[in-house]
Amino acid sequence: MVFRKGTEIMNKAVTNNQVLLPKKKRKLWKTLWDQKYLLLMSVPMLLYVLLFNYYPMWGWRYAFQNLDLNTIKKGADWIGFENFAWLFGREDFLLSIRNTLAMSLINLVFGTLSSILLAILLNEVRTRWFKRTVQTVTYLPHFLSMVIVVGMAQNMFISNGIINTTLIKLGFVDEPVFFLGEGKYFWPLVGVINVWKEVGWNSIIYISTMTSIDPTLYEAAAIDGAGRFKRILHVTLPGIKSTFVVLLIMNIGHLMEAGFELQYLLGNPQVYDYSRTIDVFVMEYGISNGKFGRAIAAGMFKSLVAIVLLFAANFIAKKLDEDTLI
Amino acid sequence: MTAATLKKVKKPGQKRDIVFPFINGVILCLLMLITLYPVLNTVAISFNDGTDAVRGGIGIWPRVFSTEAYKSLLSDEQIFNAFFISVSRTLITTILNVILTSMLAFTLSRKEYVLRGFITLLMVLTMYVNAGLIPNYLLISRTLKLSKTFWVYIIPTMFSCFNMIVIRTYINGLPEALAESARIDGANDLRIFWQIIFPLCTPVLATVALFVAVGAWNQWFDTQLYNGSKKNLYTLQYLLKMKLATSMQSMNAANTSADALVNATKSTPVTIRCAITVVSAAPILVVYPFLQRYFVTGMVLGGVKG
């Protein structure tokens, strides 16, 4: 009796519910209630990302306002594209675009070549402990901060540092070369430091691709009479081709990122024309001089070019996917 | 196995098989030397006598041994304070970041979760679009007023999208039955995460913790942006950056080496700068060899999706 009454009530409740809410909506609420702990674990992070990653984009409106330290209190005025016009009328901004592209191309070319070369050399090592040691040592600089790296570079490249003393001893130069104070040395210096810092780390991905190459390919090549260099040329290099292409395309999307810390820390008044990247420019005008509007315009220009490059890279990737990779 | 087979097959090539590994070994040893030389050189200078070090030409062994640089560091209260700030920011950020990031990764690995697609899209997009330096600066210093506080080191770095994807990939590789059986036993999602998934993720969490900790320890730019006027909130890396900047200036003020010598003695002695460098690099150098096996797996995991 009691039981029957209970079921009756329950049935009634269910029918009532069905009347009150459309079926789909009721189901959604029930799902949400079932997943309340999942919501609890993810919604705070969602809000966090909205605040710290998406809300700042609203700040892009300042690119069209004359916002600086004076106007930030009483409110800035809309000035249209004046900030952009100002930017492109400045030689140092145009130079910073050139420097950004030049240094990221240097990083891209030498970074890629050096890490592939290191991966090939390591792949040929048969002694396991030696391979591990080389890897441990070459990964190390990746974990050092740029401040430390620049400090070390200073010790190496100053007029009485090891590089200059060696060059003089070997008779390449008579006078110490002023590596850190002459503009023409800045780009090569950045290239060398970046390769030194990242070559081991960047080779990881190539090494892991090489270990997945089918060993029977090497055996077959050896039976066909291919020597070590022929095997590298015809088995190893084709084996890493797709990784190479994928990374290359990804890096094209990052061409506007030449790095900030290294140029900012290593730069000095003598080399500014070569060391100032767009990021350094934004830092100088935005933070040091408080010209927020102009700096945001510069940053926005960089982001827009980066997005165009990303789409271009994706387009190329799709084309390659259709034509060659499959 | 490959090497053995090759040797058997290629009798005439035996001579080259000895020459090439030798040259290869020499090249790789040279590379290790180039990698380690600046590090060893810095350690050597930090243990050298101050006035002697200005002459330059110190290799990987101190010329006139002295611990005066470290002694003066020990008597410098600012260094101690900076070390404390660096350690606390690294610890707090790492713990919070690992827990929060893995928590979100867990929810986004549940296929039944309704907001899964939406949140994943928003997270992945953050890796491609970034508002840039100034809007972030305005948000943190003007809107949230985090400048001149310790929290500016913690709050903006509590979550990382790339690491979230690495952890999610790892969780997706775990057997589905684990969570399923826990659910049948009556565990809710919170318990499934905390008591089953989180402990199972130790290898990937170690990787992520390493990345986050190194990033937090090495950070100097946020101190410059937000806490440049608060000396008691300086981190070790920022202190080092300030010393570096002064020595850079003095070096460039004089183009001849004789003037540079005079100038270098006026600014922070090179030995002290090197000693701070050693102190600020030491924690990484000590921890790093033990964690190496973790971060390689992490890189490969991240490479799959990232």
Single pTM value for the model: 0.85
CATH homologous superfamily for the domain A82-325:
MetI-like (1.10.3720.10)
* Segment B237-280, tens digit of pLDDT: 999 998 888 777 666 555 445 455 544 444 567 888 899 899 99
Look at residue B36 and tell me if it is in a domain.
no
Q: Scanning the structure block, which residue is given the tokens 């990987």?
A: B60
Strand partners, B4: none
Among B133, B221, B273, whose Cβ lies nearest the Cβ of A282? B133
Picking from B108, B98, B97, B95, the residue whose alpha carbon sits closest to that of residue B171 is B108
How far apart CA B230 and CA A284 sit, in angstroms, is 21
Task: For residue B41, give every residue at least 6 positions away whose Cβ sits within 8 Å of its Cβ, in sequence order, or none.
Answer: A152, A155, A156, A162, B58, B59, B60
* Segment B89-123, tens digit of pLDDT: 999 999 999 999 999 999 999 888 888 999 999 99
Query: How is residue B157 written in tokens?
Result: 């770095």
List phi, psi (to 5°) of A144. Answer: -85, 145
How far apart CA B148 and CA B135 sit, in angstroms, is 18
Report chain A residues whose CB lies below 8 A from the CB of B156. 52
Cβ-based neighbour number of residue B57 at 10 Å: 11
The number of angstroms, rounded, from the C-alpha of A240 to the middle of its chain's C-alpha atoms is 21
Q: What is the DSSP letter of A144?
A: S
Q: Does B103 sit within 8 Å of A45, measured CB to CB?
A: yes
Domain total of chain B? 1
**DSSP reduced 3-state for B69:** helix
Angle CA B222–B226–B230, to nearest 5? 110
Among A39, A56, A125, whose Cβ lies nearest the Cβ of B139? A56
Look at residue B150 and tell me if it is in a domain.
yes
CA distance A48 to chain B (A): 8
Q: Do residues B189 and A114 touch, judged by C-beta distance below 8 A?
A: no
Look at residue B304 and tell me if it is in a domain.
yes
Strand partners, B48: B65
Q: Distances in Å between the alpha carbon of B94 and those of A141, B148, B266, B306?
A: 21, 21, 39, 21
Q: Does A151 sit within 8 Å of B134, measured CB to CB?
A: no
Residue B253, domain CATH: 1.10.3720.10
How far apart CA B192 and CA B186 sit, in angstroms, is 10
Q: Percent of chain B scored above 90 by pLDDT?
A: 36
Among A127, A148, A302, the strongest candidate for a mutation testing the B interface, having the largest count of B CBs within 10 A, is A148
**B75 at A interface, C-beta within 8 A:** no
Q: Do residues B216 and B157 touch, judged by C-beta distance below 8 A?
A: yes
User: Burial of A112 by CB count in 10 Å (0-12 exposed, 13-18 middle, 19+ buried)?
Assistant: middle
| Secondary structure of A206-258 in HEC code, one letter for each residue | HHHHHHCCCHHHHHHHHHCCCCHHHHHHHHHHHHCHHHHHHHHHHHHCCCCCC
Q: Does A156 sit within 8 Å of B41, measured CB to CB?
A: yes
Q: Does A162 sit within 8 Å of B41, measured CB to CB?
A: yes
Question: Which residues of chain A form CATH 1.10.3720.10?
Answer: 82-325
Is the dihedral angle over the CA atoms A144, A146, A150, A156 positive or is it negative?
A: positive
> ipTM value of the model?
0.84
Q: Does B28 sit within 8 Å of A130, measured CB to CB?
A: yes
Report chain B residues whose CB lies below 8 A from the CB of A156. 38, 41
Q: Distances in Å between the alpha carbon of A2 and those of A13, A16, A268, B21, B27?
A: 17, 21, 88, 88, 88
Among A117, A143, A164, A179, the strongest candidate for a mutation testing the B interface, having the largest count of B CBs within 10 A, is A143
Q: Does A35 sit within 8 Å of B113, measured CB to CB?
A: yes
- The amino acid sitting at B71 is K
Report chain B residues whose CB lies below 8 A from the CB of A46. 115, 119, 122
The number of angstroms, rounded, from the C-alpha of B42 to the middle of its chain's C-alpha atoms is 19
How far apart CA B94 and CA A27 sit, in angstroms, is 39
Q: Does B42 sit within 8 Å of A222, measured CB to CB?
A: no
Q: Does A165 sit within 8 Å of B136, measured CB to CB?
A: no
Give the pLDDT of chain A (326 residues) as one tens digit per residue: 444 444 454 454 444 444 555 667 778 888 888 888 889 999 999 999 999 999 999 989 999 988 888 888 777 888 888 899 999 999 999 999 999 999 999 999 999 999 999 999 999 898 889 998 999 899 899 999 999 999 999 889 888 888 888 899 898 888 888 888 888 999 999 999 999 999 999 998 899 889 888 889 988 998 988 888 888 999 999 989 888 888 888 888 788 888 899 999 998 888 889 999 999 999 999 888 888 999 999 999 998 898 898 888 888 878 776 555 43
Look at residue B43 and tell me if it is in a domain.
no
Among B217, B255, B281, whose Cβ lies nearest the Cβ of A181? B255
Report chain A residues whose CB lies below 8 A from the CB of B20. 124, 228
Q: Distances in Å between the alpha carbon of A18 and those of A6, A13, A14, A22, A26?
A: 19, 9, 6, 7, 8
Report chain A residues whose CB lies below 8 A from the CB of B122. 46, 49-50, 54
**DSSP reduced 3-state for A66:** coil
Among B134, B189, B297, the strongest candidate for a mutation testing the A interface, having the largest count of A CBs within 10 A, is B134
Look at residue B59 and tell me if it is in a domain.
no
Q: Does B159 sit within 8 Å of A292, measured CB to CB?
A: no
Among A27, A31, A39, A45, the strongest candidate for a mutation testing the B interface, having the largest count of B CBs within 10 A, is A45
Q: If you average pLDDT over every residue of chain B, what do you get? A: 83
| pLDDT, position B295 | 66
Look at residue B54 and tell me if it is in a domain.
no
Q: Do residues B91 and B128 touch, judged by C-beta distance below 8 A?
A: no
How far apart CA A243 and CA B82 sit, in angstroms, is 42
Domain of residue B133: give its range.
75-306
Look at residue B11 and tell me if it is in a domain.
no
CA distance A18 to chain B (A): 22
CA distance A1 to chain B (A): 31
Q: What is the DSSP letter of B65?
A: B
Q: Scanning the structure block, which residue is given the tokens 């390493």?
A: B210
User: Burial of A46 by CB count in 10 Å (0-12 exposed, 13-18 middle, 19+ buried)?
Assistant: middle
CA distance B174 to chain A (A): 18
How far apart CA A59 and CA A67 sit, in angstroms, is 11
Q: What is the DSSP letter of A6?
A: H
| pLDDT, position A322 | 59
Among A28, A31, A41, the strongest candidate for a mutation testing the B interface, having the largest count of B CBs within 10 A, is A41
Q: What is the DSSP letter of B197?
A: I
| pLDDT, position B87 | 94
Nearest C-alpha in A relative to B118: A46
